[in-house]
Amino acid sequence: MPAALGFATIAVLLLLTMTKRASVLVALILLPVLAALIGGFASDLGELILGGLSKVAPTGIMIAFAVLYFSLMVDAGLFDPLIRGLLRAARGDPLRITVATAVLTLCVALDGDGASTFLITVSALLPVYKRLGMNPLVLSGVVCLGAGVMNMVPWGGPTVRAMAALKLDSSEVFNPVLPAMGFGVAWVLVASYLLGRRERNRLGTLSPRGPAADVPNGEDERGNREPAASTTTVTAEPSRQVTRTTADGQERQALGSPGDGPGAVRVPPLPRTWLNIFNLLLTVALVVCLIQEVLPLPVLFVLGFAIAALVNHPTWEQQQALLDKHAKSVVLVTTMIFAAGVLTGILSGTRMIDEMAETFVSVVPDSFGSHLPVAVAVTGMPLSLVFTPDAYYFGVLPVLAETANGFGTDPAEVARAAILGQMTTGFPLSPLTASTFILVGMSGVSLGEHQRFIFRWAFGTTLVMTAGALVTGAFAL
């Protein structure tokens, strides 16, 4: 019964979101609640939901402040040199932009953390896509492909779980599939080329346009970026003038200051060049601290945003306008993450996910035991939509490995096969991982659209790497 409820919940969730019959937010909350009520867990519902919410709370906090931080930096023009460089190198060609997206993602994703990869790449590249009128699904899709392959690194979540579950080390699990990973990287570049060529045919080759392409280096672009409140407009000019609308509709000018009272000390503006240098150094320091795990990720982004806001927007009016401008983006992303916490909390707390794992293993025929590595590799990516990484690697994988061992197949081969798709190429499409909602939320696309657009390409990555693993002997057919 719990297994059937779990599979039905996931199936209906995917059906509703991919066909746009219901919003992802509503489906993530109400479907698991309904399943819990049907399963007789009504008395534990509050505890189950709170348990799930508490697990995703750090991620939700991190994303809220990360979105604010990178939005502030985009407004400040931090990524304009990169945008200008990409536009010049691409010469307005959507194909080159798409391939550059893949290359950048493959480099940034070396840290093995999907959330930071999505935050950095989407923040840097979305303005380019908007400037050229490119489909944001191409951005989310190509980033998904690059991050999926790079999530196989030994310090990435899936490989770490596979090694821990079967008590193996990286030389037994990761090293043999390194050539296959190379096949996957090559496929990502080919796929990005094909997607870019399709986008080029749709748009035609465009010349760079817009502020980021036209404004000379060093020229202040912030006038076009500054957020505006409904009744208070804060300018970034050296005069620091604030335009206020009085009750009779007349406008009057006043010097911007940290307070509203008379005689408040005027805040002198920082020179634009030094402000750009400060933002760059702060962002580099933040990324280094993220990689080195100096502090928990939520703490780093909370501190980073507070410092950036104070330096870039020293007055209360400016800070309020900044929050008003980006509040919608923060709400859209964070609510999705907390809704996903409701789903995972109920599926895990009711043991539906454990029963699903046992049911899945029980239907594998004994005669199929010697071919398990290939079966695990091929099914791993689609099963990312059904199983959380913990449920699969700690629940399903050990049983599959033991079954394969009974047929004379090394359990390490099953582990290698699993990381070719299960929560690697599949994690940026799964509704069971919070980082997926970072990708789709920041790209401005829906989960269903994203899944429909890129699923076959992501599955193609797994198939290419499976073929590469067979050719290089990582596991046998």
pLDDT digits (tens, 9 = 90+) for 92-136: 789 999 999 998 888 878 767 787 788 888 988 888 898 889 999
Decide if pLDDT at 243 tops 60.
no
CA-based Rg of the chain, rounded to a whole angstrom?
Answer: 25
Cβ 137 vs Cβ 434: under 8 Å: no
Using CA atoms of 150, 284, 434, 82 in order, give the dihedral in degrees to the nearest 10: -70
Closest to 431 measured CA to CA, from 331, 333, 336: 336
Can you tell me whether residue 146 is helix, strand or coil?
A: helix
- Which of 118-122, 186-190, 206-210, 380-384 comes out lowest in average pLDDT? 206-210
Answer yes or no: are the C-beta atoms of 454 and 139 closer than 8 Å: no
Q: What letter does residue 395 receive in the DSSP assignment?
A: I
Tell me the pTM: 0.66
* Torsion angle in degrees (nearest 10) through CA of 338, 342, 343, 344: 90
Query: What rounded mean pLDDT belongs to the chain?
Result: 79
Cα–Cα distance measured from residue 331 to residue 47, given in angstroms and rounded to the nearest whole number? 24
- Residue 227 pLDDT class (50, 70, 90 cuts): very low
Q: Give the 3-state secondary structure of residue 245.
A: strand
Taking a C-beta distance cutoff of 8 angstroms, is the pair 200, 94 a contact? yes
**Nearest in space to 228 (alpha carbons), one of 134, 352, 322, 309:** 322
- Beta 232-234 vs 251-255: how paired, if at all? unpaired
Give the DSSP letter of residue 229: -
Lowest-pLDDT range of 75-89, 191-205, 303-317:
75-89
Q: How far is Cα 49 from Cα 268, in angstroms, rounded to an integer?
A: 49
CB 95 within 8 A of CB 200: yes
Residue type, 197: R
* Mean per-residue pLDDT, 275-292: 85
What's residue 343's pLDDT?
83
Res. 331 pLDDT band, cuts 50 70 90 = confident
| Confidence bin at 76 (pLDDT 50/70/90) | confident
